[in-house]
Chain A
Amino acid sequence: MSRSPIRDTRARRTTGRPENYNNAAWLGVLPVLLVVAFSAVIPLMTVVNYSVQDILDFDSRFFVGFDWFRETLRDARFIDALQRQLLFSGAVLALEIPLGIAVARGMPRNSAATSGLLILLAIPLLVPWNVVGTIWQIFARPDIGLLGVTVNSLGISYNYAADSTDAWITLLAMDVWHWTSLVALLAFAGLSAIPRANYDAATLDGASSWQIFRFVELPKLWGVLVIAILLRLMDSLMIYTEPFVLTGGGPGSSTTFLSQHLTTMAVGQFDLGPAAAFSLLYFLLNLLLCYLFYTSVVQRPDE
């Protein structure tokens, strides 16, 4: 009468699908769906409604179809901000992921210093964004900042408020300072889960340090690295406060990323329609990048 687990497994193997497969349990997530609807879906719908109208005030609005999308997509400022955004996010990942792994590999495991180091690493993560921006704004100032004055006294001309390359370097250094710890902590957690015996076996086989990393550590790290890359990708795509405090998008518009440009439109000029169209394009881009990334790493062919 009652079916044993073993027979269930056999049924799955032979037919390719369990006989009593049922999706009804998914209905259990309905309450969560309601909360998400209230906090995200309904506001998003409102943005969609705004994006197809010219809104003059609360009672006079006109349907304009896709005009705002057409205008935004052909706006040179939007395209430039998008390119800067992608460049910035790419640079952030290219710098922080390898650096974070390197830091995690260099940390001692199971020693007295480990917990102290972990706390030290976590400190930058606790600093709020606007404080990080302020710290770096002063630290890098060419007239009174420690970093700015030191670099200039070495004979290298450096001024993040006047030179766009300097502004980019400062922004990237700030982001690395703020967030590499996150990657390092995640990677350290992943490394700690690797049994000592795996290392011993690799050493006995005469594996080099690179081979140990590539064939012993990296496969086990993959899961946490996916999370680290996703978190850094999403966060860097949304970055607003730090560049706003440090450079204000300048010099010129050389560090104006998407969020900064959007804020100018939505809050500065109160152009609700164009800003809504912009937000939806921004949202779809983030959704696509995160989905592509997530599926491509979750569905690796060798799993």
Chain B
Amino acid sequence: MGALPSLHWMAWTQPTALFFVGIGCCLIALTIAELRSPSLSRRGFLPLDTTRGDRFFISLLVAGFAHIAWVGLTDLPVWWMSVGVLGSTLLIMRNG
């Protein structure tokens, strides 16, 4: 048999592969950041105490639901919302 198991059954596409590689890189970066300077939970504009990881999770949830609303309610190009979500992620990570 081959050295690598076949990933054919997972039906990969380039956009989804890039998406998951991006998330994976973010998680690795967060892990390194937490080892270098551990974050303690603090209170920003969100109504709860959050650590860096909490804010990342909330950013992802916000991004997901923003895209759902965008796709469900409008016919505009989806990448407009993706750009908007980058802004909301930055805002939540810094001031959340």
Contact = CB atoms under 8 A, between A and B. Distances in A.
The reply to whether chain A is a binding partner of chain B is yes
Given A46-B10, A299-B49, A65 B72 contact: no
Label chain B's interface by main secondary structure. helix
B72 A49 contact: no
A74 B38 contact: no
A277 to B, nearest CB: 10
A295 B48 contact: yes
Interface string A196-222: 000000000000000000000000000
Given A49-B12, A55-B11, A66-B78, A23 B35 contact: yes
B68 A281 contact: yes
Contacts of A70: 71-72
Contact of A65 (B40, B64, B78): B78
B72 A74 contact: yes
A230 B38 CA distance: 30
Given A49-B11, A70-B72, A73-B71, 5 more contacts: A26-B34, A50-B11, A288-B65, A291-B57, A296-B48
A61 interface: yes
B56 to A, nearest CB: 13
Interface residues of A, number: 32
A278 interface: no
Interface of A: 16-17, 21-24, 26, 42, 45-46, 48-50, 52-53, 55, 61, 63, 65-66, 69-70, 73-74, 281, 284, 287-288, 291, 295-296, 299
Nearest to A276: B11
A28 to B, nearest CB: 13
B34 A23 contact: yes
